[in-house]
Amino acid sequence: MNNAMAGVPVITLDGPTASGKGSVADGVAHALGFHVLDSGALYRLTALDAERLGIDLDDEAELAACALALSPTFTASRIFMDSRDVTDAIRAERIGNLASTIAPYPALRAALLDRQRAFRRAPGLVADGRDMGTVVFPDADLKVFLVADVAARADRRYRQLIERGAPADLDVIAHELCDRDARDANRTTSPLVAAADAMTIDSSALGLQDVIERVLELARAAGIGR
Ligand code: DC
């Protein structure tokens, strides 16, 4: 970490697929005026580009090179790769599953490390993912581990897909969530696990605003924000 980054506060939000991390991260960042890192988007962008380039999913070196070569542009609501708007393409369940399949490769994870840390800019950052508090920002000022039971998460994902007009089957979604949880949690490199100093919030029975408020309360208690 360079000195300029040392004083910039970071809140990490880790947790399983569809636990609501992204929406909570956006809400917390908005309330505090902080930047957001959606680290899953970087894994999804790598998966999308690897597919476009026809890279063999067993070829760790080529996948890492693909991750290193990414040149995405993040605007307030869209993500561009070169001049292509890939916002919707990376949200497809197929690309999420592909991202989870290639994410265990240490070389690929290493290739994305500096890119993720570069999001740490004043006045602060809210970073969501699987290893934000354990690996990418181990010195974060507040670490939250967001969980929710499979039924609640499958229901949320189902509603998101229906809203987008995408095909959705609740049973298939629940099944794929469990598979993805197992893959993300059981890999040896940077597995999905709560940092020892993380605060766990179970959002199964909570609304989005309730979770955002809880995180903001924890942030205030940690002396973060305005
Ligand atoms: O958060 P998401 O669903 O957009 O992430 C897609 C996949 O990317 C996830 O299943 C595993 C991988 N990922 C990861 O390994 N580490 C992260 N910090 C974020 C995502």
The 10s digit of each residue's pLDDT in 55-96 is 999 999 999 999 999 999 988 889 999 889 999 999 888 999
Each residue of 96-123: pLDDT tens digit? 989 999 999 999 999 999 999 999 999 9
pLDDT tier at 184 (50, 70, 90 boundaries)?
Answer: confident
17 CB under 6 A from ligand 1?
A: yes
For the residues 153-171, what does the mean pLDDT come to? 90
Instruction: Give the homologous superfamily in CATH for domain 10-216.
Output: P-loop containing nucleotide triphosphate hydrolases (3.40.50.300)
Mean pLDDT, the chain, whole residue set:
93
Each residue of 128-142: pLDDT tens digit? 999 999 999 999 999
Domain ranges of the chain: 10-216
pTM: 0.93
Dist. CA 30–CA 7, nearest whole Å: 20
Smallest CA-to-CA distance from 43 within 170, 173, 132 is with 132
Residues ≥6 apart with Cβ < 8 Å to 124: 8, 9, 10, 11, 32, 33, 34, 35, 224, 225
User: For the chain, what is the largest distance between any 2 Cα atoms, rounded to a whole number of angstroms?
Assistant: 49
* Best residue for ligand 1 mutational test, from 12, 13, 21, 43 (most atoms within 8 Å of Cβ): 43
Cis check for the bond before 123: say yes or no (omega within 30 of 0).
yes
Each residue of 1-30: pLDDT tens digit? 554 566 899 999 999 988 999 999 999 999
Q: Whose CA is nearest to atom 1 of ligand 1?
A: 40
103 CB under 6 A from ligand 1?
A: yes
